[in-house]
Amino acid sequence: MIPMETSKLIIDYTGMMVSEQNSKGFAKEDLLGLQSKLDEAQTNLHALRDSGKLDFSLLLPEMLAQLPELCAYADEVAAKFENFVVLGIGGSALGPLAVQQALNHYYYNELLPDQRSNRPRFYVLDNIDPVRFKELGQVLDPRKTLYNVISKSGNTSETMAQFLIVRDYLRHFCGESYADHIVVTTDQQKGNLLPIALKEGFKRFVIPSGIGGRFSELTPVGLLAAAICGIDVEQLLAGALEMDRRIRETKGVFANPAQLKSALSYLSWQKGKKISVFMPYVDGLKTMADWYAQLWAESLGKRYDRTGKAVSLGQTPVKALGVTDQHSQVQLYAEGPDDKVITFLTLEEFKDTQGIPVDSALPEDIQFLGGKTLEELLFAEQKATEYALTLAGRQHQKIILSALTPFNIGQLLLLLEWETAYMGELFNINAFDQPGVEEGKNGTYGLMGRAGYEAKKQAIKEFGQERHLLE
């Protein structure tokens, strides 16, 4: 186990608070003024959990108990296959990608087998672009590849289309052993994928019925991929369990991380900050911003509140990467509309550093970099960006991880999930459904000829009769 004092997560919300440089920030009284609403939210969420719901928190111990079977299978297939491919979309893809990039070598797939402990290369097909799909098939030997089909319902058109193509492909190249090349992650009792898996003998792992895709990373959806690629999933869950315990057992906005984060988000929303920028200053956390964007958008972008009142609320998540997007977006953040709250995600220190050579023959405008490190330069640019935003009266905060460890990533995932749950309570909306997505799904079913969706197909056909084109 990694000692907790060396694996920690800090929330630095200085840039959100009123100061000599930033008169627009919040006072402590503003946060304390939300305490009664936060206490009510905590009571509601605990009641939901006690009733057997709130599964992203409730089922963590159960997920821990499943690790021996999951890790044994992961080790078995890692010894047999050279490639591991996830077929999934949304949370089924974004979570595994985020954890893989955070915790394994940035160029993991390019490493020699012994450099990645002889674990398989890792790929995620999270879209249905036919060129990309075909080109991946051209570079992978199907006889040396394991495919993980992830869909709780088995109704996900994109994933099931991928599955049908891959299954046909494997039957052609692998013959009767094709089933050994497919593992499915789906519902335990229902859905279209389950009976296919039972009939054809695919290895199965279960997505708990009460967990939606964007909350599913710490279930077999994400744990299997992480384990196959050699990530310490026990430590990942240990960090999640510790953050979960801290949030459930701690009271008070200045002590409870989820209460603090949600209070800051809610107050910023009340002040007109309709855009939430998530900006890692670590390349390993770049895809964490993609995962966060789905979590925040799909959970909180709702037309109606729980009373049925039309509210059409939610903050729009924007992904950025420091320092890359200092040169593409920060100009807008500092001088454009004051409608954004910015969350930086950074480390106390990097596991490696890179020195910058000294060369006295260079112009003085370049010489100053010599003898420094890329780490120093990155931290300087981050600090300077924070300073510039503060002078401009723009609100920002930081989540600081002591290091990129499985324990810390587990903490981060749970913190953001709990913050989202709290925001649902503060907004009085259901943060765990996604009705706005269903219309598009149903329209796709109709256009692709699924039985029972003929009326939807006709409605879309009539909708598109009048066109405005420039050719």
Determine what percent of the chain is predicted with pLDDT higher than 70: 99
Q: Which candidate, 215, 241, 97, 201, places its Cα nearest to that of 152?
A: 215
Nearest to 159 by CA among 110, 221, 90, 225: 90
Mean pLDDT over 223-229 rounds to 98
Per residue in 451-462, pLDDT (tens digit) is 888 888 888 787
The predicted pLDDT at position 447 comes to: 80
What average pLDDT does the segment 260-275 reach?
97
Nearest to 3 by CA among 454, 413, 448, 405: 405
Distance CA(120)–CA(225), nearest Å, equals 10
- Nearest to 157, CA basis, from 442, 456, 420: 442
| pLDDT tens profile 322-356 | 999 999 999 999 999 999 999 999 999 999 999 99
Q: What's the mean per-residue pLDDT of the chain?
A: 94
- The mean pLDDT value for 303-322 works out to 96
C-alpha angle with apex 209: 206 to 212, nearest 5 degrees? 100
Report the run of H or E that residue 296 belongs to, with start and end: helix 286-300
| Percentage of residues in the chain having pLDDT higher than 90 | 87
Mean pLDDT computed over 241-257: 97
The answer to pTM > 0.85 is yes
**Per-residue pLDDT at 3:** 44
* Residue type at position 111: L
Domains of the chain: 10-51+242-427 (3.40.50.10490), 55-231 (3.40.50.10490)
**Active-site residue list:** 298, 327, 441
- pLDDT at residue 311 above 90? yes
pLDDT of residue 443 exceeding 90: no
Q: Looking at residue 2, what is its pLDDT?
A: 40
Which pLDDT score is estimated for 6?
61
As given in the structure block, the two tokens for residue 424 are 């649902």
pLDDT digits (tens, 9 = 90+) for 387-424: 999 999 999 999 999 999 999 999 999 999 999 999 99
- Specify whether the CB–CB gap between 436 and 303 falls below 8 A: yes
Q: Which residues lie closer than 8 Å to 462 by C-beta, 6 or more apart?
A: none
pLDDT at 444: 85
**Count of other CB atoms within 10 angstroms of residue 66:** 17
For 39-84, write each residue's pLDDT tens digit.
Answer: 999 999 999 999 999 999 999 999 999 999 999 999 999 999 999 9
Three-class secondary structure assignment of 240-291: HHHHHHHHHHCCCCCCCHHHHHHHHHHHHHHCCCCEEEEEECCHHHHHHHHH
